[in-house]
Amino acid sequence: MRKHWIDNLRWVTVLLVLFYHVFYFYNNKGVFGGIGGFGEYPQCKQYQDVIMYILYPWFMPLMFLLAGISARYALEKQSAGEWFRARTRKLLVPGTIGLLVFHWMVGYFNTVVASRQGVFDGVPAIAKYFIMAFSGTGPLWFIQVLWLLCLVLLLVRVIDRKDRFWNWCGKANLVAVILLGVLFWAGEQTLIKNPRPESLDGLLNLYKPLFYLVPFLMGYFVFSHDEVQEKLEKAWVPLLACAVVAGTVLIVTTFGQDNTSPQYLGSPLNCLYGWLMCLAMMAWFKARFDRTGAFAGYMTRSSYGVYILHYLVIAALGYMMKQYTSLAPWMMYAILFVAVMTIPFALNEIIKRIPFIRWCVLGIKKEKTA
């Protein structure tokens, strides 16, 4: 029986990613990426940036948790080889070939435009294209890391081939589940605290494969059990209340800091809030949103493509409004929000109907008619 609450939580989280990027793109808190805010902090507070502090500690770990749960369910129906081939097509193809076919346009805004004129003076055209393509990764880091973690999971399954560890994890009570937050904190400690300039340290901190391995494996081994899900469901109200309290304290005491820095992410309070929100969101959706309908079904089918395609809208429209218009900031936010909640859906519907291109960009072999 399909777990509709997982589908619903996944597409809602994707929409939150889109919402986050609207504010991230114009942030003035020193967060890497985007094009800066509408004044320097602290003279210009930009309180709307609070959205980043609310969402960033938990929404991507939650995506990996859900991916781990889904991997367990899929591997109960498919052989390891079939599953990994499907994962390679769905994740690795868009995360590599898709860069050359579509995401070079994102790379254009990440290089030529963001770096102003002259960045490519004297560079051959073909070299410019490849530089833009590989600079257009953007949110695709998620599917690249997820593919790597799927490969790791196959190795882990060899060790636990009789599911002894998986069965043991299914006995976890609510206290044990909450205490797994220690592993969440330990994962954040793998970040390089003082990344060296002109090195791969910054890239490692962006991708965070060792950190995201933690929620992915917890999803597979712990949260794929019906018994664990039911225990979370019964505690959704106190879990959500505790998460709100922890998040409020975190935001009040840290607003203005770079909330993506290794020091911030590794702080005990950030980890507490992030972990409690992951648990609370799973518990809440299991308790209240374990159902589907026409709209939810459409979002379940479309959210992956929307995630893959949305950042071009953010980069292109977000840049052009700030660079070439005198719109008030609130209007830029409003226009960008409406655009990112509509245009990627249209792009997804178009691209998934184009043979070969849909394989390159979305990892789809053939459009499903039902």
- Which tens digits make up the pLDDT trace of 89-103? 999 999 999 999 999
Is the model's pLDDT at 113 over the cut of 80? no
Residue 162: which residues within 8 A CB-CB, separation 6 or more? none
- Look at residue 144 and give its three-state secondary structure: helix
- Residue 257 has phi, psi (to 5 degrees) of -80, 160
Give the Cα separation of 160 and 108 in Å (integer): 45
Give the Cα separation of 255 and 99 in Å (integer): 35
CA-closest candidate to residue 229, choices 291, 183, 286: 286
Is the model's pLDDT at 185 over the cut of 80? yes
Q: How confident is the model at residue 110 (pLDDT cuts 50, 70, 90)?
A: confident
Q: How confident is the model at residue 118 (pLDDT cuts 50, 70, 90)?
A: low
Q: How confident is the model at residue 368 (pLDDT cuts 50, 70, 90)?
A: low
Which tokens belong to 99?
Answer: 């860069």
Is the model's pLDDT at 367 over the cut of 70? no
Give the Cα separation of 83 and 74 in Å (integer): 7
Kindly report whether the peptide bond that precedes residue 262 is cis, defined as omega within 30 degrees of 0. Answer: no
What is the mean pLDDT of the segment spanning 157-166? Answer: 96
Bridge partners (DSSP) listed for residue 255: 257
Is the model's pLDDT at 190 over the cut of 60? yes
pLDDT at 197: 79
Average pLDDT, the chain: 95
Q: How confident is the model at residue 147 (pLDDT cuts 50, 70, 90)?
A: very high
Give the Cα separation of 102 and 283 in Å (integer): 37
Q: Are 270 and 57 in contact (CB under 8 A)?
A: yes
Q: Are 247 and 273 in contact (CB under 8 A)?
A: yes
Is the model's pLDDT at 112 over the cut of 80? no
Is the model's pLDDT at 370 over the cut of 70? no
Percent of the chain clearing pLDDT 90 (strictly above): 88
Q: Are 232 and 242 in contact (CB under 8 A)?
A: no
**What does the CA dihedral 123, 125, 130, 133 come to, rounded to 10 degrees?**
110
**What does the CA dihedral 293, 296, 300, 301 come to, rounded to 10 degrees?**
70
- Which tens digits make up the pLDDT trace of 329-353? 999 999 999 999 999 999 999 999 9
pLDDT at 123: 85
pLDDT at 154: 97
Is the model's pLDDT at 114 over the cut of 80? no
The helix-helix angle for 294-324 and 343-351 (nearest 10°) equals 110
Which tokens belong to 190?
Answer: 């793998």
Percent of the chain clearing pLDDT 70 (strictly above): 97
The residue count for the chain? 370
Q: How confident is the model at residue 200 (pLDDT cuts 50, 70, 90)?
A: confident
Residue 32: which residues within 8 A CB-CB, separation 6 or more? 202, 206, 260
